Amino acid sequence: MTLAQGTDNNARTFHPNSISELAFWSGTAEEREITFQKLRAEAPISWHPPIEGALIPSENPGVWVVTSHALIQEVSKNTQLFCSGQGFQMEEVPEDVNEAAGSFLGMDAPRHPVLRRLVSSAFTPKRVKAIEDQIKRQAHDIVTNLLEHPEGDFVEMVSKRLPMWTIYEMVGLTDIDKRLEAAHHADGMVSWADEEVAAGREPGEVLNESLVGLLMMGMELAEERRNNPQDDLMTGLVNAEVEGQKLTDDEIGAFFVLLSVAGNDTTRNSISLTMRALNQFPEQKALLLEDYEGRIGTAIEEFVRWVTPVMTFRRTATEDTVLGGQQIKAGDWIAMIYSSGNRDESVFENADQFDILRDPNPHVGFGGGGPHFCMGNFVAKIQLREIFDNLLRRAPNLELGEPEYLTGNFVRAVKRMPYTLR
């Protein structure tokens, strides 16, 4: 089969190394990297069949897959040519789900910058300081609890807890049962394809139930804070006003869904897979411990590059154009593979080595630098700094077993990972 490089759109052919099958995404990151490395070298933009396992049949004949660091940045930054408003996942998702779940992640200018500014205005320096203090406390308590249980599941005991506590305390969801319910729905939003999560239900049913559950919780909390303001993010959101504009209840509900999904799974998997990396490369762990305060800044960037918890995001071409020498038609889908960009050997020296002192480290783990660049990256960085400070110093003899991964092309997720304290 010929490669798609340099061919006309009408004659485009699927690349022989397809990444569209579920089997590809059920392997390990190391296995996938063999294919990505080949694609970066031969065809940094290549044409692939519609992604397998979508909830609804694909209307698109295929998807362009972008694997090089340079092209990921080009697509991320050029939002006029490559928009987010027609979905951001690699597979087909029902339109109403996209609209209700995406919040401003699935929007373009002019609405995207307005909503982003409104939400940002609720993150006052005072609130950020409160978030930091609260994360410090939570990280300490989580590791104290871990030390009382000499063995168990690291995901359940550590990785899952910190992001959930952070997000929901920050937003003002104080009721513990409601926090658990919200976190359960957030899981359903990204793991509906997983048989264990679906537990015999149709994937669409799981997704719908999770989405409606979160939307309702977000809107209820907004209503509550309007009547009874507190010192939390939700109160900030209902009162936020930029240039005479305020957020509607639907927009707040959708943002609650986005926050629940974007802020939970991402940091959770960063914690699990970073802990694994630090144990796999003990010399790096020792290097970090030698000067934690001095090295944790570069180390965190490397954690995010190494793990790349968000593996992909998709855009849609708004007009006919050329990308990486390839003819793109208006309406074509373009998937950015961040995991591949973060191993691009033309940007990262010894890209396949975990190096906590790597500097500069222009990874695309938080996005390729466009206007959708991760808005919660500062929250994620505080969480990583605090949890590893506690874990490395207070649980130095933590041993890990093999992780069990979730199948999917969006978040690189670990379901379970056994630990033992020696």
Binding site for ligand HEM (CB under 6 A): 76, 104-105, 116, 258-259, 262-263, 266-267, 270, 304, 309-310, 313, 365-368, 370, 372-376, 379-380
Q: Shortest gap between Cβ of 151 and ligand HEM (angstroms)? A: 27
Contact 17, 39 (CB under 8 A): yes
Q: Nearer to ligand HEM by C-beta: 88 or 419?
A: 88
Torsional class of 172: left (φ above 0), alpha (ψ -120 to 50), beta (otherwise): left
Q: Shortest gap between Cβ of 288 and ligand HEM (angstroms)? A: 17
Q: Nearer to ligand HEM by C-beta: 20 or 264?
A: 264
Q: Shortest gap between Cβ of 42 and ligand HEM (angstroms)? A: 25
Q: Nearer to ligand HEM by C-beta: 267 or 316?
A: 267
Q: Shortest gap between Cβ of 131 and ligand HEM (angstroms)? A: 9
Q: Shortest gap between Cβ of 391 and ligand HEM (angstroms)? A: 16
Q: Shortest gap between Cβ of 129 and ligand HEM (angstroms)? A: 15
Residues near 328 by beta carbon (within 8 Å), at least 6 away in sequence: 9, 64, 317, 320, 321, 322, 334
Contact 334, 315 (CB under 8 A): yes
Q: Nearer to ligand HEM by C-beta: 191 or 266?
A: 266
Q: What angle do CA 405, 14, 203 make, to 5 degrees?
A: 40
Q: Nearer to ligand HEM by C-beta: 233 or 398?
A: 233
Q: Shortest gap between Cβ of 385 and ligand HEM (angstroms)? A: 12
Contact 240, 255 (CB under 8 A): no
Q: Shortest gap between Cβ of 127 and ligand HEM (angstroms)? A: 12
Q: Report d(CA 279, CA 285) in Å as an integer.
A: 7
Half-sphere exposure of 125 toward its Cβ, with a 13 Å CA cutoff? 0
Q: Nearer to ligand HEM by C-beta: 4 or 347?
A: 347
Contact 406, 413 (CB under 8 A): yes
Single-letter residue type at 231:
D
Which helix (H) or strand (E) is 163 found in, with range?
A: helix 161-171
Q: What angle do CA 310, 261, 127 make, to 5 degrees?
A: 105
Q: Nearer to ligand HEM by C-beta: 18 or 89?
A: 89
Residue 110: cis peptide before it, omega within 30 degrees of 0: yes
Q: Nearer to ligand HEM by C-beta: 203 or 367?
A: 367
Contact 221, 230 (CB under 8 A): no
Q: Nearer to ligand HEM by C-beta: 238 or 258?
A: 258
Nearest-10 crossing angle of helices 249-280, 95-102: 80
Nearest-10 crossing angle of helices 377-394, 282-290: 100
Q: Shortest gap between Cβ of 140 and ligand HEM (angstroms)? A: 19
Residue whose beta carbon is closest to ligand HEM: 376
Half-sphere exposure of 224 toward its Cβ, with a 13 Å CA cutoff? 16
